[in-house]
Amino acid sequence: MHLIKYTLNTTILFLVLNFTYAQTKIGLFDNHLDIGSVKNKGFAQYHKQDQTYTIGGSGGNMWFDKDEFQYLWTTLQGDFIVRAEVEFLGKGVDPHRKAGWIIKNDLNADTPHVNASIHGDGLTALQFRSTIKGNTEEIVSSDSLPSVIQLERKGDTFIMSSAKFGQPFREVITTNISIKNQVYVGLYVCAHNADIMEVAKFRNVRIIRPPSPDFKPYRDYIGSNLEVMDVSTGHRKILHSTANSIQAPNWTPDGNHLIYNGGGRLYQYEINEGTISPFNTGFAIKNNNDHVLTFDGSLMGISNHNEEDNNQSTLYYLPSKGDSLPVRVTPQGAGDSYLHGWSPDNNKMIFTGNRKGQYDIYTVDIKTGVEQQLTHLKTLDDGAEYSPDGEYIFFNSARSGKMKLWRMTANGENQVQLTNDEYNDWFPHVSPDQKWIVFISFPKEIDPNQHPFYKQCLLRIMPFNGGTPQIIGYIYGGQGSINVPSWSPDSKYISFVTNTRL
């Protein structure tokens, strides 16, 4: 009887503590408070439906030897990247009202800190206090009135990156500030006027913890966020987070599910209910992230590593309902084959094949197994996908020295380069309405032949008929983020995966 009573009391205590924690937690953050002796109490709100934050802060200043502001904080250790898009609400009173990210040793007003700051008049600066009660210093950015603000810690180096949404980042760097390994990190608002309250809204807020510097690709993985984005606005929502590695979501033609890879198996995420269930691929349980639905959604094509063929990536297909075994398409001993698309009539798969000692783009008739080689260069060609009308094939190629987007006619002729700037561009995906191409861009420093894990990348978009690419997303990811066609059927949204240690 005493044991039962003890168990019940423990259970009640557990529920009470977890309820209290749930009430205290504010989105990604642990809590909020006013730093310093503010005259008007600030606030912080999380809006679950659109995953945005609204912060109201008073405070006379964040300068000299003390600070006053409203702080929405969490705690982190080691290296990290924090990013958000910021919008001041209202015209404001003082031109030096400010908002952004701040890293602090503690919650006192005179502590050492590093602060990525956007001012109401457009001034953008990396501000820092090196010692307790020391004066605040700053390095002013060449950027003005940015909407995206990012702060990265790499050991004793702190990097502020800022941009107007849709533009590349501009960086400011400082080092050797007396910041501890274990710190407080968060968003803030300071009115720069003790008598009033200023308010800012933050969207696409992300806290990213990179892998250990010595991580081994394809052996060591970090966590994943399954995200969707409204392409017209760039607004993003995280649908599902997991400590495991998941990759490459497909959007089903009915708009109800996302199909992704995890640990060699495929899973379905039901968008309205948020439920997850296995996608049955029978014996094929070593799938890589090259899985593609036909345009009508009736068939699922997969690239599965075949144990009977030295674990080579082999093409199969099966009904999208998953109610029968996969049918093999590429023959044993043909070489690695990585699926990227279907012809609109469902008769052909298009893939990157290791044939004749190099990787080129091929099509294969799923009934006869007859392959047709479409590219013939020693440099890597990859990521091929048909346009919905079947007239063109879009792909990426390193033939010009950088990985760039290309287009050719369906028979492999008239190959034309589409992108020309400093980035390495991969995986062009054509919207169902055939108006847009979305793709991922890796930094210029990356080997053009590599699309590695865990890098700061960009999601970009360009018109179907060509034109200047526009940034629509600043992401931490890379391999597995957007390898496969991932448009919603109404051409309004895309799905992708980003990464962080969870």
What secondary structure does DSSP assign to 357-390, as a single string?
TEEEEEEEETTT--EEE----SS-EEEEEE-TTS
- DSSP assigned state of 26: B
C-alpha count within 13 angstroms, C-beta hemisphere, residue 331 = 9
Long-range own/partner contacts, residues 134-142 (CB < 8 A, 24 or more apart): 134/65, 135/64, 135/65, 136/62, 136/63, 136/64, 136/65, 139/172, 139/173, 139/174, 140/172, 141/170, 141/172, 142/170
pLDDT of residue 8: 38
To 10 degrees, the CA torsion angle through 140, 146, 149, 154?
A: -40
What percent of the chain has a predicted confidence (pLDDT) above 90?
Answer: 93
* Residue 69 and residue 180 in one domain: yes
Tell whether 20 is covered by a domain: no
- To which H or E segment does residue 98 belong? strand 98-104
- State the average pLDDT over residues 450-458: 97
Based on the domain organization, do 400 and 252 belong to the same domain? yes
Q: State whether 75 and 160 are in the same domain.
A: yes
pLDDT at 14: 40
Alpha carbons 39 and 42: distance in angstroms, whole number: 9
Per the listing, tokens 């049955």 go with 280
What's the CA gap between 287 and 310, in Å, rounded? Answer: 14
- Kindly report, residue by residue over 340-369, the tens digit of the pLDDT: 999 999 999 999 999 999 999 999 999 999
Per-residue pLDDT reduced to its tens digit, 424-445: 999 999 999 999 999 999 999 9
Cβ-based neighbours of 198, under 8 Å, separated by 6 or more: 56, 57, 58, 88, 90, 92, 93, 94, 97, 99, 120, 189, 190, 191, 192
Question: Does residue 13 carry a pLDDT above 50?
Answer: no
pLDDT score of 385 more than 60: yes
Q: Same structural domain for residues 228 and 190? A: no
CB 339: neighbour CB atoms within 10 A? 29
Q: How far from chain centre, in Å, is Cα 32?
A: 26
Q: Give the closest residue to 372 by CA, choosing from 389, 349, 340, 345.
A: 349
Q: Kindly tell me if the per-residue pLDDT of 87 is higher than 90.
A: yes
The yes-or-no verdict on residue 1 having pLDDT over 70 is: no
In this structure, the answer to whether residues 258 and 203 fall within a common structural domain is no
Same domain, 60 and 84: yes
Q: Does the pLDDT at position 74 exceed 70?
A: yes
How far is 458 from 167, CA to CA, in rounded Å?
10
Three-state DSSP class for 400?
coil
Cα(8)–Cα(462) distance, integer angstroms: 60
* Mean pLDDT along residues 291-317: 96
C-beta of residue 230 within 8 angstroms of C-beta of residue 272? no
The CATH number linked to 267 is 2.120.10.30
- 398 belongs to a structural domain: yes
Q: How confident is the model at residue 322 (pLDDT cuts 50, 70, 90)?
A: confident
**The dihedral sign for the CA sequence 309, 315, 318, 320:** positive
Tell me if 13 is assigned to some domain: no
Residue 287 within any structural domain of the chain: yes
Q: Let me know if residue 119 belongs to a domain.
A: yes
Sheet with 123-129, strands from edge to edge, namely 31-35, 69-77, 182-190, 98-104, 113-119, 123-129, 136-144
* Cα–Cα distance measured from residue 149 to residue 147, given in angstroms and rounded to the nearest whole number: 7
Query: What average pLDDT does the segment 368-380 reach?
Result: 97
Residue 89 token pair: 């609400």
Domain count, the chain: 2
Give the span between the Cα atoms of 460 and 425, in whole angstroms.
9
Two structure tokens written together for 28 = 């990604």
- 147 contacts 165 by C-beta, under 8 angstroms: yes
On whether residue 76 sits in a domain, the answer given is yes
**165-203: pLDDT as tens digits:** 999 999 999 998 999 999 999 999 999 999 999 999 999
Most confidently predicted of 11-15, 16-20, 181-185:
181-185
pLDDT value, residue 48: 97
At residue 466 the predicted structure's pLDDT band, cuts being 50, 70 and 90, is: very high
Q: Mark whether 337 and 360 lie in a shared domain.
A: yes
Residue 10's pLDDT is: 41
- Give the per-residue pLDDT at 326: 96
Minimal CA–CA distance to 393: which of 353, 351, 448?
351
Side by side, which strands form the sheet with 416-417? 381-386, 392-397, 404-409, 416-417
Instruction: Indicate whether 145 and 276 sit together in one domain.
Output: no
Tell whether 204 and 228 lie within a shared domain: no
Range of the domain at 371: 223-500
Q: What share of the chain has pLDDT > 70, as a percent?
A: 95
Q: Is 15 in a helix, a strand, or coil? A: helix
Are residues 74 and 184 in contact, defined by beta-carbon separation less than 8 angstroms? Answer: yes
Cα dihedral 502→220→497→261 (10° resolution)? -120
Q: How confident is the model at residue 321 (pLDDT cuts 50, 70, 90)?
A: confident
- Do residues 253 and 296 make contact, with C-beta atoms less than 8 angstroms apart? yes
Instruction: Give 12's contacts (C-beta < 8 A, 6+ positions apart).
Output: none
Residue 437 lies in a domain: yes
Please report where in the chains the tokens 């007859």 appear, as a residue: 370
Q: Which of 185, 208, 231 is the last residue of a domain?
A: 208
**H or E stretch covering 436:** strand 436-442
- The pLDDT assigned to 267 comes to 97
Q: Which amino acid is at 37?
A: S
Domain stop point among 160, 176, 208: 208
Question: Over 60: is that where the pLDDT of 6 sits?
Answer: no
Helices (H), 86-209: none
Largest CA distance in the chain: 83
Q: If residue 154 lies in a helix (H) or strand (E), which one and from where to where?
A: strand 148-154
Residue 44: pLDDT band (50, 70, 90) is: very high
Average pLDDT, the chain: 94
CATH of the domain at 84: 2.60.120.200
Q: Does 279 share its domain with 204?
A: no
Please check the confidence at residue 137 and state whether its pLDDT lies above 90. Answer: yes
The pLDDT confidence band at residue 71, using thresholds 50, 70 and 90, is very high
| 327 falls within a domain | yes
> pLDDT-derived band of residue 3, with 50, 70 and 90 as boundaries?
very low
My answer on whether 298 and 173 are in the same domain is no
What's the rounded Cα separation, in Å, for the pair 75 and 125? 23
Mean pLDDT of 221-229: 98
Among candidate residues 149, 183, 208, the one where a domain is terminated: 208
Residue 4 pLDDT > 80 = no
Q: Find tokens 């197994």 and name the residue.
A: 369
pLDDT computed for residue 23 by the predictor: 52
pLDDT at residue 21, rounded to an integer: 43
Q: Are residues 142 and 54 in the same domain?
A: yes
Output the pLDDT for position 9: 45
